[in-house]
């Protein structure tokens, strides 16, 4: 099983392509892959999104499935070629299904209890969500009792605040809207290159 340590080593960006048509998704994914700074996540809430995931996974780069909330979605994601799963919250059955499928799982966490449960379930990398509401200070506070946790700050993150989250201890950033808007990906990649 590939690990997030392998997937995100030297790649501080998880580009979230939610609701993006195949052609645009491929254009954005290629820019992320070519930069060497990130991986791509496709939330699999619709049949169309699963097809976008399948298309991107066929290009030889790691692509994950996002908004995976059920074990059934894990199966769909694995069959479409995902190499990791991401969820908005922590559900033990989803983490277990992902691990059983050989896919590392990135569960969403927002409290110390969430972090504890996710770590206990074998998830060392955690999605701090919604990061925009939690703030960079949340990451600093969680690093104290949970030094082994690796956080991916997600939700409300863009070029304007990426450095603050990384400086606070985020191992990576999950970025959606700021990546898909015109010019947003280039701005974010510039910040990440300069960091």
CA gap 37, 14 in Å, rounded: 9
Active centre residues (catalytic): 41, 127
- The residue extents of the domains of the chain are 4-181
Q: Any idea which architecture 4-181 has in CATH?
A: Alpha-Beta Barrel (3.20)
Q: How far apart are CA 188 and CA 72, in angstroms?
A: 34
Query: Are 132 and 143 within 8 A, CB to CB?
Result: no
**pLDDT on residue 99:** 98
Provide the pLDDT for residue 1.
79
Residue written as tokens 């808007």?
181
Three-class SS state of 116 = helix
- Alpha carbon distances (Å) from 6 to 9, 11, 125: 5, 9, 12
pLDDT tens string for the chain (195 positions)?
A: 789 999 999 999 999 999 999 999 999 999 999 999 999 999 999 999 999 999 999 999 999 999 999 999 999 999 999 999 999 999 999 999 999 999 999 999 999 999 999 999 999 999 999 999 999 999 999 999 999 999 999 999 999 999 999 999 999 999 999 999 999 999 999 999 986
pTM of the model: 0.97
Distance in angstroms (rounded) separating the CA atoms of residues 164 and 108: 20
Integer Cα distance of 77 and 53 in angstroms? 8
């Amino acid at each position: 099983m590939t690990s997030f340590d392998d997937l995100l080593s030297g790649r501080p960006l998880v580009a979230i392509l939610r609701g993006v048509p195949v052609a645009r998704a491929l254009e954005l994914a290629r820019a992320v892959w070519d930069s060497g700074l990130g991986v791509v996540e496709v939330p699999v809430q619709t049949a169309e999104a699963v097809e976008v995931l399948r298309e991107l996974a066929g290009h030889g780069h790691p692509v994950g499935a996002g908004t995976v909330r059920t074990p059934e979605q894990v199966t769909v994601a694995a069959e479409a070629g995902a190499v990791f799963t991401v969820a908005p919250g922590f559900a033990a059955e989803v983490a277990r299904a992902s691990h059983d499928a050989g896919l590392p799982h990135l569960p969403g966490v927002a409290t110390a209890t969430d972090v504890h449960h996710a770590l206990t379930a074998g998830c060392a990398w955690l999605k701090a969500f919604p990061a925009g509401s939690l703030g960079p200070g949340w990451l600093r506070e969680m690093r104290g009792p949970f030094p082994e946790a690796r956080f991916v700050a997600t939700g409300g993150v863009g070029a304007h605040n990426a450095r603050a989250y990384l400086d606070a201890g985020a191992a990576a950033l999950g970025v959606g809207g700021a990546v898909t808007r015109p010019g947003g990906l280039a701005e974010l990649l510039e910040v990440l290159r300069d960091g």
